[in-house]
């Protein structure tokens, strides 16, 4: 065989082998691309599912948070309504007590209250103080009668900082003080009034 023919055959064999190798490489590339596409599809589905779960969880948390806020707002509004109703009732009570001062029974109530409180306190000398308006009822005659019946020495003074209605009793040494003003009476009853209003208006 001529040298030319041998060279041509060799070149053809090399070309054939190259085409086969190229075909093999292309086939491998196609297989790899298919596998990668499948992997990406699976990964995409996983990401989508993960995202869906995250969105659902966030939506649930947002809904739960909104519900919690609504419950807190509801409790706050109910508490505000109760407190407003209590304050309204206390104000009505205060007005009725102030009106009670104009009744014929008020001076007798002052006298009995003074005697009862003095009977509960230890000591011989006390200061009785009241709002200046109480001069109308806490008269020198009433104070003398209470002092005589209780056997205690009493000193009366007015104090514009005290609320109208009732009085305070302070032992001469200043160590014991009893608040019998209308405001003091109502504040001492505030919690029981709150419970009673809650029972009547809201059932608890």
CATH for 101-202 is: 3.30.2320.30
Tell me which of 11-20, 101-110, 140-149, 177-186 is least confident: 11-20
As a whole number, mean pLDDT of residues 85-106 equals 87
Sheet holding 168-171, edge to edge: 153-158, 125-130, 168-171, 177-179
Domain boundaries, given as residue ranges, for the chain: 101-202
pLDDT band (50, 70, 90) for residue 71: confident
Which tens digit of pLDDT belongs to each residue from 29-70?
Answer: 566 656 765 676 677 678 668 777 876 777 777 767 777 776
Residue 110 parent element (H or E): helix 106-120
User: Does the pLDDT value for residue 73 go beyond 80?
Assistant: no
Burial of 134 (0-12, 13-18, 19+ CB in 10 A): buried
pLDDT of residue 22: 45
More reliable by pLDDT, 185 or 28: 185
- Residue 82 has a CB neighbour count (10 Å cut-off) of 15
- Mean pLDDT taken over the chain: 81
Which tens digit of pLDDT belongs to each residue from 16-31?
Answer: 655 554 455 555 656 6
């Amino acid at each position: 065989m001529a040298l030319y023919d041998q060279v041509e055959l060799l070149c053809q064999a090399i070309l054939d082998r190259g085409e086969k190798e190229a075909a093999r490489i292309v086939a491998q590339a196609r297989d790899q691309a298919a596998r990668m596409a499948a992997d990406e599809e699976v990964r995409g589905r996983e990401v989508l599912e993960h995202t869906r779960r995250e969105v659902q969880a966030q939506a649930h948390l947002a809904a739960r948070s909104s519900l919690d806020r609504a419950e807190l707002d509801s409790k706050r509004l109910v508490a505000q309504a109760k407190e407003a109703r209590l304050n309204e009732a206390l104000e009505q009570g205060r007005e009725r007590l102030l009106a009670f001062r104009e009744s014929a029974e008020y001076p007798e109530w002052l006298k009995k209250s003074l005697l009862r409180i003095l009977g509960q306190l230890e000591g011989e000398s006390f200061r009785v103080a009241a709002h200046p308006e109480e001069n109308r009822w806490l008269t020198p005659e009433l104070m003398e009668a209470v002092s005589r019946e209780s056997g205690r020495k009493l000193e009366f003074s007015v104090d514009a900082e005290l609320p109208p209605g009732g009085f305070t009793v302070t032992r001469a040494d200043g160590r014991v003080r009893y608040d019998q003003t209308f405001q003091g009476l109502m504040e001492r009853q505030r919690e029981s009034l709150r419970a009673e209003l809650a029972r009547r208006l809201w059932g608890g």
